[in-house]
Amino acid sequence: MAKLLKTLNPLRFWFSIAIITLLVSVAIAKSQKAITDAEVRSKKNACYSDIESGMWGSRCKSSVIAKENCALRCLSPECYELIYGSDPLEEGEKDYTRSQEYKYCMYSLSIGESIDGIKGSFDR
């Protein structure tokens, strides 16, 4: 090992270590277990409980749809902001497309993938 260190340029050695570390961390992040529907339901129910207890303020208890928007934000702030942030759900609205995008966003985050390009990906 000492002989190898002497023959390698120190800069090249540390660059190699950095690349190996990066590749290992990406591999570990990608190997995370995907979130299941049961886990989503459980976490969403916990969010509903927090909302009902008043932790999210009275605005989140003002209507069924306000409660749903707050629960989605509680469940995944990143996905809520990406999918619903500029256009929250409105009373009586059923938005299957954005619902699928939100679920896909949560799935992607759970396995360490980027959420870039998810918004609008189910419009096609």
Q: Closest Cα to residue 87, out of 102, 75, 74?
A: 102
Q: pLDDT tens for residues 16-56?
A: 565 665 555 555 555 579 999 999 999 999 999 999 999 99
Residue ranges in 31-63 assigned as alpha helix (H): 37-52
Question: Which residues neighbour 35 within 8 Å (Cβ) at sequence distance 6 or greater?
Answer: 106, 107, 110
Residue 32 in contact with residue 112, Cβ under 8 Å? yes
Cα-based torsion angle of the residue sequence 110, 114, 117, 123 in order, rounded to the nearest 10 degrees: -10
Q: pLDDT tens for residues 58-88?
A: 999 999 999 999 999 999 999 999 999 999 9
Question: Which residues neighbour 113 within 8 Å (Cβ) at sequence distance 6 or greater?
Answer: 30
